[in-house]
Amino acid sequence: MENSLFQLKFTAKSLARQSKRCEKEEQKERLKLKKAIQKGDNESARIYASNAIRKKNESLNLIKLSSRIDAVASRVQTAVMMRQVTGSMANVVRGMDRAMESMNLEKISMVMDKFESQFEDLDVQTGYMEGAMGGATTLTTPQDEVDGLMQQVADEAGLELKQELGNMVTPQALPEDSELTERLAKLRNAS
């Protein structure tokens, strides 16, 4: 059982290291995103933003998995400790029997103190295990999150994000509008 405990702890630490690696890769993707925004390359920026979010989610998933494995390790450790506590309690009970036979109050008090100490240790371990069992939510990468990250990086860099507006009015269409405005003004003046 101790070997399983070691393997579980090793795996949890390994997953935590992989999570840190993903965080570093996320930062690299954010830097690429910033450079792409500076160049005005929105298509590459979207790809880098998507990659950064994916790496962030991968990191979070690895942390969650590490936490779950750590929780299992805590349970195994609790089982090992329970086995040890059971043995210790058996010794305490034998000690209590001997103390009761002699009715030595000092020995009874020492045995009870030892019993309470072990019981408190068990409470602390159980509390730790329950604390390690927190739940987590899953994350997705919606388009608004990608756009939000792109805008955040652009804001941090003090850059203006040039959005592709699709069918909306473009700056090239503005001269036509001003031409129409001038024609309308001439027609009003003619009347």
The predicted-structure confidence for 156-166, as pLDDT tens digits, reads as follows: 777 666 554 33
pLDDT, averaged across the chain: 76
Highest-pLDDT range among 11-15, 93-97, 148-152: 11-15
Domain hosting residue 104, numbered range: 1-120
Instruction: Tell whether 161 is covered by a domain.
Output: no
Tell me what the mean pLDDT of segment 52-63 comes to. Answer: 92
Query: How many domains are contained in the chain?
Result: 1
Instruction: Tell whether 170 is covered by a domain.
Output: no
Residue 120 has pLDDT above 70, yes or no: yes
Residue 134 has pLDDT above 90, yes or no: no
Neighbours of 151 (CB within 10 A): 14
Cα–Cα distance, 47 to 29 (Å, whole number):
9
* Residues counted in the chain: 191
The predicted-structure confidence for 91-115, as pLDDT tens digits, reads as follows: 777 777 776 676 667 776 777 788 7
Instruction: Tell whether 64 is covered by a domain.
Output: yes
Tell me what the mean pLDDT of segment 39-56 comes to. Answer: 91
Instruction: Tell whether 21 is covered by a domain.
Output: yes
Instruction: Tell whether 32 is covered by a domain.
Output: yes
Q: DSSP labels for 133-191?
A: T---------HHHHHHHHHHHHHHHT-------TTS--GGGHHHHHHHHHHHHHHHHH-
| Token pair listed for 166 | 């699709």
Q: Is 176 exposed, middle or buried (0-12, 13-18, 19+ CB in 10 A)?
A: exposed
Tell me the C-alpha to C-alpha distance, in Å, between residue 3 and each of 10, 64, 69, 87, 112. 11, 23, 15, 20, 33
Instruction: Tell whether 4 is covered by a domain.
Output: yes
